Amino acid sequence: MKFSDFNFSEPLMQGLDAIGFEKPTAIQEQAIPQVLNKKDIIGCAQTGTGKTAAFLLPVIEDILRHGHVGLAALVIVPTRELAIQIDQQVEGLGYFTGVTSLAIYGGKDGVSFGQEKQALTEGADIVIATPGRLIAHLNLGYVNLGKLRFLILDEADRMLDMGFSEDIEMIVGYLPEKRNTLLFSATMPPKIRKLAKALLNDPEEINIALSKPAEGVVQAAFLVYEAQKLGLMVHLLKARPLTSVIIFCSTRKSVTVLERGLKKEGIKVGAISSDLDQQHREEVMIQFKNAELHVLVATNIVARGIDIVGVELVVNYDVPRDAEEYVHRIGRTARADATGIAFTFISEEEQRDFHDIEQLIGMEIKKIKAPSHLGPSPDYNPQKRSARKPQHFRKQRGKR
């Protein structure tokens, strides 16, 4: 199948041709006709399969068919980074269409708030927003949602994990009852099905390879003591020339310590975590995408939705507590049928958590001892009781 088979308008096809889109992915092939036929959708697919274009393309086409008559589509997302990326994709896909969009998120100045107000009152075609920032506008009473035709919840599982359930309910209360609602998620836990039942009307459900890493990812794990992790990371980065590496840490403190350690070794590295202001985070991301930085150290803030072309290696410096998060993290590489490598560093305290990951993805991942110059490695015994302390998450509302 080709995109031309969807009978998109000529301006939209021009945009697709300009960026080299020819064949839709599985989620796009199944979702686009349903959205064009005004069906509600639950779209569940692993990261990197093209969910964003699966909802943006039919929404842009609908706007072209009905004209620019005000805010037509509202996309709710969990993080600022994802809002910015979707806004950029609207610009790319709709370059020749005249469709307008704006990303609305916290952490910007008063001038930006005024621009957001203008978009919400005078009517950009598509608004992409984090829940907290949108509610700040809704509470002021000027938001015009009377002509809204589409509500899209992207990374819905992530939003619920971050405590946005009540915010979503509040936002939906402002929307027209007659609308199409599209819910996209990389996982489908019971809480997502409960949300879908409350918001969607007789939805079509599309499931593509749930909770499985992309086939193009080569996975391996290193057995290490915690004190060996930095040395192993330096060894891997210097063993071969790499220009695009993402390293995931579980805490902001770990991100800071690792970034400093790698800089001392002369490695071109930047860091992103919620400790940094939005402008700094955007600058680091741009530098990484432009290959000015070869290594990006981050928390889970970039584990979902962020589309970075050509990531060669993803490293789980810390084993994620949530097994589903492993799939999201390593999905930053091997995107769109490409190939990539994913390494995980497993300390003694993290072995049981890694075993849970293997149970989720239904495969055993090869375990490797650390290089001999780093000293002996621990044996793998995931049944041993973990010494890791429980991690308590605070619900964060609109600030990420």
Tell me: the pLDDT tens digits for 47-75? 667 889 999 999 999 999 998 888 999 99
Question: How high does pLDDT run on average in the chain?
Answer: 86
What's the pLDDT at 3?
93
Q: What is the pLDDT of residue 203?
A: 94
What tokens appear for 218 in the block? 């080569």
Look at the block and give the residue holding tokens 């041993």. Answer: 384
Instruction: Give the mean pLDDT of 325-343.
Output: 75
Q: What is the CATH number of the domain that holds 228?
A: 3.40.50.300
Quote the number of domains for the chain. 2
Decide which of 175, 208, 241 is a domain's last residue.
208
Do 273 and 351 belong together in one domain? yes
pLDDT digits (tens, 9 = 90+) for 111-127: 788 889 988 888 789 99
Q: Per mean pLDDT, which of 49-53, 102-106, 179-183, 268-272 is the most reliable?
A: 179-183
Q: Domain of 132?
A: 3-208
Residue 299 lies in a domain: yes
pLDDT band at 396 (very low <50, low <70, confident <90, very high): very low
Residues 74, 24 within the same domain: yes
User: 199 and 346 share a domain?
Assistant: no
Q: Where are the alpha helices (DSSP H) in the chain?
A: 10-18, 26-36, 51-66, 80-93, 110-118, 131-138, 156-161, 165-172, 190-199, 229-239, 252-264, 278-289, 323-330, 351-361
Q: What is the pLDDT of residue 214?
A: 63
Do 253 and 352 have their domain in common? Answer: yes
Please report which confidence band the pLDDT of residue 211 belongs to, taking 50, 70 and 90 as the band edges. low
User: Do residues 161 and 189 share a domain?
Assistant: yes
SS3 74: strand
Q: pLDDT at position 300, please?
A: 76
Mean pLDDT of 157-180: 91
Q: Is 296 a member of any domain?
A: yes
What pLDDT was estimated at residue 68?
A: 87
Higher-scoring residue by pLDDT: 187, 299: 299
